[in-house]
Structure 1
Amino acid sequence: MAGLAGGALSVVRLLALAERLGVLREFQSAMSAERARQTAENVDGAAYADAVSEYAALGRDELREAARALMPATPGRC
């Protein structure tokens, strides 16, 4: 949410991917998935819609690869 609030457009794609992977359900007590979605749409609705459409067509393995591609490289992490 901090990235979205700051207007980071790459976070819009990351949020769409997190939704597709079901990751947001783990954080619902701390944040609303609906609020995150609305914020992403407000930041860049077209980019969010494109990402949702793109990720909807991917299988589990392809989603993992998409997640790896979006995550910054962190030394010592897989």
Structure 2
Amino acid sequence: MAGLAGGPSAVRFLALTERLREEREFQPTMSAERARRMAENADGAAYADAVSEYVAPGRDELREAARAVTAVTSGRG
């Protein structure tokens, strides 16, 4: 969640995890809904763009997108 302040790649990653249905309860005090609200507050436009971008792709394409976003957020991309 600290990464949300770092830019749009973190909110894109959250949108992607939602689309892949991989979201979990982050901590007992951090629900998926709260994480979503934080992403919208951090960069609502980037989050909305990512949500709409990830609607159509299939599971394999979403996995590739996850690899790309992970590379950017980890500093390897």
TM-score by length of 2: 0.82
- What secondary structure, in the 3-state scheme, does the structure 2 residue paired with 1:39 have? helix
- Identity, in percent, stands at 69
Superposed displacement of residue 71, structure 1: 1.1
- In the alignment, which residue of structure 2 is the partner of 1:39? 38
Max Rg structure: 1
After superposition, the CA RMSD in angstroms is 1.8
Q: How many residues align?
A: 71
Superposed displacement of residue 2, structure 1: 1.4
TM-score by length of 1: 0.81
Q: Distance in 1 between matches of 2:57 and 2:69?
A: 15
Superposed displacement of residue 58, structure 1: 0.8
Structure 1 unaligned segments of length 5 or more: list them. Answer: none
Q: Distance in 2 between matches of 1:45 and 1:29?
A: 20
